[in-house]
Structure 1
Amino acid sequence: MSGALLEVRDLYKAFDGVRAVDGITFDLHPGEFLALIGPNGAGKSTTFNMVNGQLRASGGSVRFAGQELTRMQPRAIWRLGVGRTFQIAATFASFTVIENVQMAVMSHHRQLFSLWRPAASRYRGEALALLERVGMDTQADRPCSELAYGDVKRVELAMALANDPKLLLMDEPTAGMAPRERNELMALTKRLVVERGMAVLFTEHSMDVVFAHADRIIVLARGKLIAEGDADAIRNHAKVKEVYFGNGLTFEHPPEAAVADARIPA
């Protein structure tokens, strides 16, 4: 055994005979913050959705805590202890902050559709504790529609923690956020990783976020894993620089057009 929480082996996905993801292998360990990056069309979103069960793999293996996930539905994977956030925040704008989190907690306890007592009274303490962890407890009774987008993403993070996940999957977590907001969100997530001992796999197109916060980075290009390492190794990797920017360019001083391309998610 490798001691890994998540083990991906020879994973591939074919669409009409074309492999969008072509036999990738990687591990993710408890307490690790792992970034999955790549230029447009690299296959990172396809990989991410296969891990989460939203997309059925054509072949290969995804094992979480020793259990095979490739034939499981997203709900079943969630119940195993895998949380998820989305590129576009998945909250109910007409609900209050705490009601959104209560719904997630109720789902975790399999009582979402049990109407024998008012939802407003159920798991409020548990929901408040989650909101406190993300710095949103003082806004618990505000409608989500009144929140700044960065605060909505914090609420979504609290919801993703409702099932006490061992693994958190974050799909473009800082999309649409200002630089300060996105770094604050990722710093908060990193603290939660350490405190709770969970692992995070995240896709991201903002290289400043990736290099500042990821413990390790894996890079895809045309469906294949081309590089793996820490920020310094990836920043200086010749093949990575080539697929992002072309020969002779760098992440430190890329031309404006190259930066725009690097920020387009797959």
Structure 2
Amino acid sequence: MYDHGMTGWGYALMALGTLGFWALVALAAMALLRRPAAGPHLPGPTPQQLLAERFARGEIDDDEYYQRLATLEYGGPPQKKRRITMTAQRVLIAYGTKNGATAEIAEWIAEELREQDLDTDVRSAASVRDIAAYDAVVLGGGLYAGRWQRDATGFARRHREALTRRPVWLFSSGPLDASASERDIPPARGVSRIADRLDARDHVTFGGSLTEGAQGFIARQILKQGKGGDFRDREQIRAWAHGIATRLSGSAQPADHG
């Protein structure tokens, strides 16, 4: 028989400890029984849904609903719709002429470009000091003894660096016959060099015009020989200009010159 030496007080404390333990177990069980059964978490309505409910009840009008909805979804009210338009490209047509025929060609080209909504200026080559304001340049010169009129040549030389940074088209005016309307005439040697230096998009030779009152000894001699006349083909010129407009704007209205 073993004797642990436990007194009456020891048995009493042990009994109290056991009762305390079971009392705690009973309290925990009661707490679990009183806790509502956990179910699936149901999220509340979103701000957009609450806004839609207010709109459905007539508490807010259409404008306020869409403005608030835009604020919720995009962080700000919707911008008013506006017509988006591209800034028209600005084109300079510069020309060198002695008797005015090449200047008229420049004006015909400008008419077509303007019809295609291109902002176009026509100026004599000698008067242009800066081309920074232009997105593209068309440069033309009359041909005299196989050479471009000097104002056109000087323009190409003065603005060479700027011209290489924008699209350039060249034209010549010269032949006093119908050849320019019948076939493509290559540029004169000096004009060809200019086209290469400027990396021109295209060059075309149009028929020339020499009528009474023309200045210059050679011009007067030609007129005396009865070899003058106006050989400019306006439709050909407008068609060429239409091609420029198409390339600059990406699309152009069909040409209709009556």
Same fold (TM > 0.5):
no
Q: Which has the higher strand share?
A: 1
Q: TM-score, normalised by structure 1?
A: 0.26
Greater gyration radius: 2
* TM-score (normalised: structure 2): 0.26
Structure ranking higher in helix proportion = 2
